[in-house]
Amino acid sequence: MTTIRLCHLYPAQMNFYADRGNIAVLARRLAWRGHQLEITESGPGHEPSADHELWYLGGGQDRDQTLVAGDLVDNKAPAMRAAADDGAAMLFVCGGIQLAGHSYIGVDGETLAGAGVLDLTTMAGPERLIGDLVIDAEIDGRTDTVVGYENHAGRTTLGVGCRPLGRVISGHGNDGTSGFEGAVRDRVIGTYLHGPLLPKNPWIADTLLGWAIEHRTGSTVELEPLPDELEAQARARAIARAGVER
């Protein structure tokens, strides 16, 4: 049995889009394979160590991001950057992707410094980008359809240090114009897809878990397949609701 250490950043403040559902999926998919998830909740004032194999930061409104941004930069960003550089797996969702970048300019014009884990910047636009979101995502050479829901005012621009998670098939994505969604560098994934993301997209969950186990053990792993019929049905319904034929 392998124990994967997950650092859940701001679970009380950044939990706007059923983000604990993503944590539950990670825990159960590990347990079904005989492994264990050990969760450290890292709230304001807590300085996490860089030795976690898996990191998660969920979504929040602008006021929530304002509350945690200073603490994120002062108490968590150094460990996050060190862990990312060392090959840890990370998932940043919605408000999380905005705070994982270099900066976020909110609707009130205030600039919040980010953790600098992802090479991107975000500025709030005049209208929110809302609705079902379907993308063709590519990770580790595999391309597959990924679904979720987006609700954000942010317009995110990627720098040269990361690439898009995928190309938008239906929805708005990072900025409503580029046709791209999310950001990826090394084993770090940022995305506006929530709802939550992982129950309908177990491939993403298993990718993160595989990365985390490899980081923990130093060995390449092949996760045994799980019966994902219900997950596939949920994903198919989300694709159909978005009006996409697949």
CA distance 83 to 87: 6
Contact call for residues 58 and 17 (beta carbons, < 8 A)? yes
Catalytic site includes residue 94: yes
Among residues 35, 152, 194, 215, the one annotated as catalytic is 194
Among residues 35, 94, 172, 215, the one annotated as catalytic is 94
End-to-end Cα spacing for the chain: 38
Rounded alpha-carbon distances, angstroms, from residue 142 to 162, 163, 200, 203:
17, 15, 17, 10
Nearest Cα neighbor of 98 from 83, 82, 110 is 110
Q: Which residues are catalytic?
A: 94, 194
